[in-house]
Structure 1
């Protein structure tokens, strides 16, 4: 499958390429960014994870994109849609390196990804998982129209599930 490219004013969301791995890892494998990840992955696990993400595109017609700055081509992280572990729900996720925080990139990506999911994939509902202490991510989700649905354990951590209807 050819992974579609989604563009915003400042970002390009595109398919992962093998040559992206080092730049992506350098951007997101930082202690501050890993604080919000479910866990830090060894390189071999990271490669498997990207292979799984590519399989998701084939299986579901959606998945994760590499997020890069339109002006420079710098990779700042990844974002997209995936199946929520152990569920049929489709989850919005984004993971940006610290150098990109506080600049509105996550919000910009979230809006573009939701538009893709609703318009191109025909999704009626998208969820997101956020840890209670991640106020910045919660604000991103609220700006994108998500509302708190319930608290629980997701990815082996206490978190909130937020949802957005079409």
Structure 2
């Protein structure tokens, strides 16, 4: 296991080709996928041929940015992932012209069994702290569906500030109703950052 970052309760490690089943289990939970695509599971072949190769590809391009498999220290179980990568790598953000080249996008997807434990906040703080203090990140951004109150609360807890709302298109999120496609966009500049 190649470790990228540790927090008090979590290990963020590099993904490997052995993680297909871990991602499949995560993406097969309709509650996990509810605010991603309306609850639709990701197919095995999509994970094996598209999702995982994309995750692994970041390690060739960047030293500090990408997607990180997340392990719970107490159980040594895979519980999801965090991402911290250039926002202009997100095709939806580029299409909507909300991403800038100086921004690093923060995000995560966690197993439902871990919700409410503060893991999203814990690892997000660690990534933001490292980004601003060690990795020369000028700005961190994150976005979530407005109806996803848990994720917008995490953004606020880790010091990001609401900046604007926008709406994903029907082609981007076809399984969600128009009212559910509204997004809250948060950001934090390095010179406004306080160590957490």
Same fold at TM > 0.5: yes
Range with greater deviation from structure 2 (156-165 or 135-144): 156-165
Distance 1:121 1:7 in 2: 16
Distance 1:116 1:29 in 2: 31
RMSD after superposition = 2.0
Deviation at 1:71, TM superposition (A): 1.9
Moved over 4 A (4+): none
Deviation at 1:103, TM superposition (A): 0.5
Runs of 5+ consecutive residues of structure 2 not aligned to the other structure: 173-180, 191-196
Runs of 5+ consecutive residues of structure 1 not aligned to the other structure: none
3-state DSSP of counterpart to 1:108: helix
Q: 1:19-58, aligned counterparts within 5 Å? A: 19-38=18-37, 40-47=41-48, 48-58=50-60
Distance 2:116 2:18 in 1: 27
CA contact (8 A) 1:128 1:161 kept: yes
Deviation at 1:100, TM superposition (A): 0.6
Greater relative contact order, per chain length (Cα 8 Å cut-off, separation 6+): 1
Q: 1:98 to 1:119 in 2, by over 3 A?
A: same
Deviation at 1:52, TM superposition (A): 1.4
Deviation at 1:135, TM superposition (A): 0.8
TM-score (norm 1): 0.89
Range with greater deviation from structure 2 (152-161 or 99-108): 152-161
Distance 2:162 2:57 in 1: 30
When Rg is computed on C-alpha atoms for both structures, the one with the higher figure is: 2
CA contact (8 A) 1:14 1:65 kept: yes
Alignment coverage as a number of residue pairs? 165
TM-score (norm 2): 0.76
